[in-house]
Structure 1
Amino acid sequence: MELLERLFMGSPALWGGGVAHSVLILALVVALGIMLGKIRVAGVSLGVTGILFVGIAFGWYGMNVDGHLLHFLKEFGLILFVYSIGLQVGPGFFSSFRKGGVTLNKVAVLAVLLGVGTTVALYCLTGLPMTTLVGVMSGAVTNTPGLGAAQQAFSDLHAGAEAPDIATGYAVAYPLGVVGAILTLAALRYLLRVDTQREEREAGSGTDALKDLTTRRISVEVCNPAIEGMSIAQLRELALREFVISRICRAGGEPELAGADTKLHGGDRVLVVAAPRDIEALVALMGREAADTPLMRDRKMISRRILITKSELNGKQLADLKVRSTCGVTITRINRAGIDLVAAGSLQLQIGDRVTVVGPELSVAHAERLFGNSLRRLDHPNLIPIFIGIALGVVLGSISFWIPGVPQPVKLGLAGGPLVVAILIGRYGPHYKLVTYTTMSANLMLREVGIALFLAGVGLGAGEDFIPTLLAGGYVWIAYGAAITVVPLLLAGLWGRLRYKLNYYTLIGVLSGASTNPPALAYCSEQTQTDAPSVGYATVYPLSMFLRVLAAQLLILMFG
């Protein structure tokens, strides 16, 4: 027993100063926390947040670690976590503000503002410290970066002091934050009297805001005398819309690839790829919609998605490659960060993009050699951009600036600074030939290691005061967290449906993204065969994450 006590409670004689003991405790907290997070109750699990609860248990029983080491690992883990998130969302961050994206982001911003407003209202009504309520707010929307940002802001404001009630509020509110969000999304289905079959059809055809964020293929018969003999390039100038004509079938002929110089004649059938919002206008301009059977059954042409892995293509415009003349294929669309983009000539390519090419099999093979399509090239991590970006993020996060009405200068801190830099590098790095792509597995590993270290540190630091706080009335915070979870989602959901006529499956994806709630997204995806929830989630997640981090800091600086 004495050996076990020295092993877990620490002994300078046994552990040579306590570093090895600290590493042992951290490793056990992370391992046991992940095991706990995998346990499902009624289909819901804690996920990685199980690490926080195991850390609290270890801290309560006195199995703590060296304070300086704990502080470093917690902060460094937070940096790794938010930076990897920024790299992931960066490529799609600004593209999400296109017309349809603006609509979805308006709903997400409303949900964030309602959550902040509910938090401030509870602060005024209950008299609880803002540190507690910011922790509850972060847990209610399952936003761990917000937790880190709040702790960092409090530490900067009070010369390095800690606020354990932030972590306690987060831990208390988190479980119901997951369950409450899912129940609220289900309740919206009945409040809005949703016809699921109709919503499923409309989600698949992209009839709401998704019409600006996805692509659609349609076969059109040319029968407008005004465009007789006009080339596709001339038609694009006339239409003032981005579209791709990948194949053309002359009257009585076989399907063939279409290029910018291909001329259109009456009776031709063309396969058009465009954003759903542009389809109706393009059909009206060219003629009428036609059955696409002759085009789809052509055995000489294939369609294949190719991964861009050659670094020399990073940042190049699609038109510069001249793939139609060099490879004999047509690029119809490009998938980036889960969103399909129309293959416009001005679109800049990025490492990790997936391009859809159409052409004969040999030509497609040639295109594969041009683009790379080698997962092995992407397996090697690009560490230089990662650590340069982290360094720049720390510098940016340390710069103070004033916001009117806020009594203290604001810093982005170790949560906001690296997040902003990662988003900017992920978006604009390719313009300067900087390869910022990391594979999903590498990004996930970096993110999970970071969040594991951070949550373990937060739990161990808050464990000593957790039970006394809970017994002294902290259980009431669960109700406050439920209000912060449910009220914004209900109101924003009703607004999005009644004001913007959003499809139900798009709407619940947007609300899941506004709550930065992956378990809620998993629930949404199970409700439909379409990808509408995923597209809605991916569209609003970057801005929502940024606003959640900034809101947590501002609340601490203004009221903490």
Structure 2
Amino acid sequence: MEWIKELLWGEGIGHSLLLLAFTVAAGIQLGKIKVFGISLGVTWVLFVGIMLGHFGFYIHPAVIHFFQEFGLILFVYSVGMQVGPGFFSSFKRGGMTLNGLACGIVFLGVATALVIHFVANIPIPTIVGILSGAVTNTPGLGAAQQAYTDMTGSGDESIALGYAVAYPLGVIGIILAMLFIRYVFHVSFDDEAKKLEAENDMHAEAIPVSLIVKNPAVFKRKVIELAALLEHREFVISRIWRKATNKVEIVTGNTVLQEDDKIFVITTEHDVETIKTFIGEEIQMDRKQWIPAESQFISRRILVTKPELTGRRLGDLQLRRLHGINVTRVNRAGLELVATQGLQLQVGDRVTVVGSELAVDKVSAILGNSMKRLNEPNLITIFIGIALGIVLGSIPFSVPGIPQPIKLGLAGGPLIVAILISRFGYRYRLVTYTTQSANLMLREIGITMFLACVGLNAGGGFIDTIVNRGGFIWIGYGFIITMLPLLVIGLIGRYYCKLNYFMLIGLLAGSMTDPPALAYANATAGNDAPAVSYATVYPLTMFLRVLTAQLMILFFYT
């Protein structure tokens, strides 16, 4: 029976993998338990690891350190790849307000933690751990641990212990803040839903509009000339209804506009009024009228799946000239874009094509339209990104007044590179598309490995921390750090910024990067408004959480 003893209590590879696998599996299973509809989810992996560590199970320090850091890299990189495409666009329109409020929550939380640090004389590593748990941000925990190790050459288990004791009330506190704001402002869900629907009708990304040509300045002009006159406006004229023949035709660059012709245009909210004023008058026509039953042409969405098209401009393909079709819109990560000639394609784009069935089939072959190809993982880009992220995270930046150079670390470096690659990689012919399931798999493997290792490392001193080292007081400090920023910024967002309640609760969940709170917000709203605001603030918030956790260690640790 020696082999069983070695497997359970030894230091070999089999023992390490078995213990890690059991910790993850048990934690995920316990994460399915809900109390009053609330679950701690994958964080249970941390608590299972703590329990096993308390009873003497451990993994060799070098092995557990590797698993912990590799898991953290996988997690933050997959998060960056997910949020990167919308990172910069999130600052447009209402995104500036949402991100500004989210920054307020982040910085107010940091300020609250620092006040507690100085007033209560809590060591800075401990308060940073409590802060990370109170705001339910695991990458911040990893960044703080690495920054401390870089400075001192050793770890501090109080960072993970502070995180563990503060996390449960962190999740609950976010939901309590949502309920408090709803009660204070007497929020009516029906009224909020109606207001949100009205706002959404006004703010579509790609807007279809039917116009009748009335401006003499465009009579007998070709569409290509019109495009030159309005070169700084985003629009596509898809179809034309000839007054002379009473028939619908596909528009080409050489199509000549005549008085009282009707045209179907795809444009943006920003440019729609200019297009209307320049061409004529808006008319009400059903979309079906633009494709009569006897028509020879169809409208179809086609997937871009050929890697060689990554970074190619739509106009360079000359689809309209060569095949007599129109590309009117491009759906990218759920966002509808106007299909301008200068738009650069990415693998995974869904383009709306209008033309004859034969021409659409030809264009489908050109673009790929192979779901099977999309399901194939693009591992080269992933590992190039991780390698670049590690290099970036290892570069020391000297800052006056700080004894040690600042590094983005294994959390910050891969996160920034992932955001940049997923947003701009197509310009360098890097295929950045990853299926949602593949991204989620990488993310969940990474976070569970990281939490299991953190728990096993910290388990030996957890009970002692709660009983003898003021752990109960830490819980109170964590609850203050959770609630104070949420209530202050939540009240400002609702009272002064007049945010829709559904958008506001998504903002609160996103500012804490907390999926359980988002799940509660979505269930409460019954629509995707919380998810939209969550996604809007998530990238910047995640970056700030990682950065501030490191800076607190570097600036205030003595």
> What TM-score does the superposition give when structure 2 sets the normalisation length?
0.90
Deviation at 1:143, TM superposition (A): 1.4
Q: Deviations over 1:196-244 (max 9, x none)?
A: 4454344335469x93x83333333444444434444444555543123
My pick for the range that moved more, 442-451 or 177-186, is 177-186
Is residue 237 of structure 2 the alignment partner of residue 245 of structure 1?
A: yes
Matches within 5 A, 1:401-480: 401-472=397-468, 473-480=470-477
Matches within 5 A, 1:183-332: 183-194=176-187, 196-206=189-199, 211=203, 214-239=205-230, 240-251=232-243, 253-293=246-286, 295=289, 298-299=292-293, 300=295, 301-332=297-328
Is residue 141 of structure 2 the alignment partner of residue 147 of structure 1?
A: yes
- Which of the numbers 142, 145, 170 marks the counterpart of 1:177? 170
Deviation at 1:73, TM superposition (A): 0.7
Question: 2:71 — aligned with what?
Answer: 77
Is residue 44 of structure 2 the alignment partner of residue 43 of structure 1?
A: no
Q: 1:544 and 1:255, CA in 2 relative to 1: closer, same or farther beyond 3 A?
A: farther
CA distance in 2, matches of 1:169, 1:41: 23
Deviation at 1:54, TM superposition (A): 0.5
Q: Secondary structure at the match of 1:401?
A: coil
Is residue 5 of structure 2 the alignment partner of residue 6 of structure 1?
A: yes
Deviation at 1:312, TM superposition (A): 0.8
CA distance in 2, matches of 1:290, 1:370: 35
CA distance in 1, matches of 2:199, 2:423: 26
CA distance in 2, matches of 1:120, 1:260: 63
RMSD: 2.8
Question: 1:14 — aligned with what?
Answer: none
Deviation at 1:41, TM superposition (A): 1.6
Question: 2:513 — aligned with what?
Answer: 516
- Which of the numbers 545, 553, 556 marks the counterpart of 2:553? 556
Question: 1:66 — aligned with what?
Answer: 60
My pick for the range that moved more, 224-233 or 134-143, is 224-233
Is residue 117 of structure 2 the alignment partner of residue 97 of structure 1?
A: no
CA distance in 2, matches of 1:196, 1:220: 37
CA contact (8 A) 1:338 1:535 kept: no
CA distance in 2, matches of 1:360, 1:441: 35
CA distance in 2, matches of 1:285, 1:523: 47
- Which of the numbers 13, 25, 30 marks the counterpart of 1:31? 25
Q: 1:114 and 1:261, CA in 2 relative to 1: closer, same or farther beyond 3 A?
A: farther
CA distance in 2, matches of 1:103, 1:373: 38
Q: 1:316 and 1:492, CA in 2 relative to 1: closer, same or farther beyond 3 A?
A: farther
Letter in 1 for 2:234: E
Deviation at 1:516, TM superposition (A): 1.4
CA contact (8 A) 1:83 1:418 kept: yes
Q: 1:105 and 1:129, CA in 2 relative to 1: closer, same or farther beyond 3 A?
A: same
CA contact (8 A) 1:92 1:336 kept: no
CA distance in 1, matches of 2:408, 2:107: 19
- Which of the numbers 48, 53, 56 marks the counterpart of 2:50? 56
Gaps of 5+ in 1: 12-16
CA contact (8 A) 1:10 1:18 kept: no
Letter in 2 for 1:493: G
Deviation at 1:99, TM superposition (A): 4.5
Q: Deviations over 1:84-109 (max 9, x none)?
A: 22222223323333454434322322
CA distance in 2, matches of 1:428, 1:68: 36
Q: 1:328 and 1:78, CA in 2 relative to 1: closer, same or farther beyond 3 A?
A: same
Question: 1:388 — aligned with what?
Answer: 384
Letter in 2 for 1:121: V
Q: Deviations over 1:102-158 (max 9, x none)?
A: 343223222222222222222233221222222222222221111111111111111
CA distance in 1, matches of 2:251, 2:134: 52
Q: Secondary structure at the match of 1:346?
A: coil
Q: Percent identity?
A: 53
Q: 1:327 and 1:115, CA in 2 relative to 1: closer, same or farther beyond 3 A?
A: farther
Q: 1:194 and 1:467, CA in 2 relative to 1: closer, same or farther beyond 3 A?
A: same
Letter in 1 for 2:206: T
Q: Deviations over 1:384-440 (max 9, x none)?
A: 222232222222211111234544311111111111222222222211112232222
> What TM-score does the superposition give when structure 1 sets the normalisation length?
0.90
Deviation at 1:284, TM superposition (A): 4.0
Deviation at 1:286, TM superposition (A): 3.7
CA distance in 1, matches of 2:162, 2:516: 20
CA contact (8 A) 2:239 2:290 kept: no
Deviation at 1:164, TM superposition (A): 1.4
Q: Deviations over 1:37-94 (max 9, x none)?
A: 1112222212211111110110011111212111111111111111222222223323
Q: Deviations over 1:15-37 (max 9, x none)?
A: xx532212111110011011011
CA distance in 2, matches of 1:495, 1:215: 32
CA distance in 1, matches of 2:229, 2:176: 49
CA contact (8 A) 1:206 1:276 kept: no
Q: 1:265 and 1:451, CA in 2 relative to 1: closer, same or farther beyond 3 A?
A: same
Gaps of 5+ in 2: none
Matches within 5 A, 1:527-538: 527-528=524-525, 531-538=528-535
CA contact (8 A) 2:24 2:448 kept: yes
Letter in 2 for 1:539: T
CA distance in 2, matches of 1:488, 1:170: 18
Deviation at 1:257, TM superposition (A): 3.1
